Amino acid sequence: MVDLLRLEGGGREDKLEELLAWAHRVGCTLDKLRLEYTEDRGVRMIATQDIQPKDQICSIPETLCISVEMGLNTNLAKTWNEAFNSHKCQGGMNEGLSLASNAESSHVIFWLFLSVLRRKFLNRLPKEHEGAEEALKMDLEPYFHALPQTYSDLMWWSDSELDLLRPTQIYTNARRARKGLRMIYDQVMEYVIPRYRPLKGLSYDEFKWGWSTHRSRSFGDRKLLRGNQSHFLMPLLDFANHNASSK
């Protein structure tokens, strides 16, 4: 399920207004939906009237889609390929990918790509790096300001919190995934980040944020978009709780 949006910083209602103004500016419509802010749940998407099968409930330009494929067509992806052409570092990365819920290298590039976008739209990217990727020219700042700054999935739990799950299979799986994600991060920091300055000093929390955003907010139904987009974020639509079987 998607973590409900929580606006960070002061003026949360103002940020909601900025988000809605941005949605209108870029051509989004919420025909039978509205976004509202609540103190206990953050921002949520709710229906304004009964919804029947095949009803159009919103319209979001496809140009706002942030896809795995978009990440693969970046200078970041080129840097990744150059870094991992060497067999010397493939073993550690492959083991980490296997442990981290059978992630793929394209997913890791996507997590890093999301981190670059986040740095840009939260004004944490030095000016000299703003031309590093074409996608940094997209109009997404209010959306990235509205995304959660941290998550509540098991990757973010402390060791003492995770120990409360002993001796369940959930604990074993979580330990395995956490170990794998850390291995991937260590490989990225050693082989990729020194070659890609926009992510210089990438913290583990930034890296985890990319993982959690992809895992909790992305869609994977190719029928939703033209072409062969495998996983993608769709701004506004990802504010609704959903699962893979939702229609």
Structural domains of the chain, ranges and CATH numbers in brackets: 66-228 (3.90.1410.10)
Average pLDDT over residues 179-205: 93
* Token reading at 146: 């509205």
* Beta-carbon contacts of residue 237 (< 8 Å; ≥ 6 apart): 58, 60, 219
Say whether the peptide bond before residue 148 is cis (omega within 30 degrees of 0).
no
pLDDT at position 95 over 80: no
CA distances from 217 to 202, 230, 233 (A): 22, 14, 6
Between 100 and 73, the higher pLDDT residue: 73
In the structure, what pLDDT confidence band is assigned to residue 222 with cuts at 50, 70 and 90?
low
Q: Which of the two residues, 16 and 4, has the higher pLDDT score?
A: 16
Which of the given ranges, 81-85, 167-171, 226-230, has the highest pLDDT on average?
167-171
Residue 186: pLDDT band by 50, 70, 90 thresholds? very high
- pLDDT for position 15: 78
Worst-scoring range by mean pLDDT, 134-143, 158-167, 190-199, 234-243? 234-243
| 53/247 Cα distance (integer angstroms) | 9
Mean per-residue pLDDT for 113-131?
Answer: 91
Give the pLDDT band (50/70/90) at residue 2. very low
Query: pLDDT grade, residue 10 (50/70/90)?
Result: low
